[in-house]
Copies of this chain bind each other. A is one copy, B any other.
Amino acid sequence: MNNLDITFHTDGLRITNQRKKIIDVLTPFPQGVLDIMGALAKKQIKIDKVTVYRTLDCFTRLGIITKTLFNDQTARYELITKHHHHHLVCNCCGKVKDFPFEDNYILKKVGKQTGFQIQSHTLEFFGVCGKCRKAKI
């Protein structure tokens, strides 16, 4: 019995073929539902979009992945890693870069100052990447 089993079964959840396939294509890098469907398609796997949405919601509630809204109004999902990081999104080519940022300090500070019990936060940077800047000159 591995960690995944334990996490799932405590909530009466089931490990299905679809869930296994979806977790296989998830990464510690933010992907939209279309990205995920595409990754599945590449492997000749066909899973209904609704199932993908429901699975991602399930994984999010279990704390396996995080959901972040990007500026293009779509949600991105990524596996949670020990080292929490944030993102830089290029407004020009859409490339996404990780940016490690130690935010424990600020999270504690915010909680103390405001009385809020912080459940999640988002920190995203948007701009133009080096390559696109050069291309414009």
Q: Does A59 contact B (CB under 8 A)?
A: no
Known contacts A69-B69, A88-B110, A114-B97: does B122 contact A122 (CB below 8 Å)? yes
Task: Kindly report how many copies of this chain are found in the complex they form together.
Answer: 2
The chain B residue with its CB closest to the CB of A113 is B99
Q: Are A128 and B116 in contact, CB atoms less than 8 angstroms apart?
A: yes
Q: Are A123 and B123 in contact, CB atoms less than 8 angstroms apart?
A: yes
Among the interface residues A99, A119, A126, A130, which one has the most CB atoms of the partner chain B within 10 A? A119
A80-106 vs B, CB cutoff 8 Å, 1 = contact: the mask equals: 000000001011000001010100001
Q: Mark the stretch among A1-9, A25-33, A43-51, A70-78 that contacts chain B.
A: A70-78
Residues of A within 8 A of B (CB): 67, 69-71, 73, 75, 88, 90-91, 97, 99, 101, 106-107, 110-111, 113-130, 133
Residues of B within 8 A of A113 (CB): 99
Residues of B within 8 A of A118 (CB): 88, 125-127
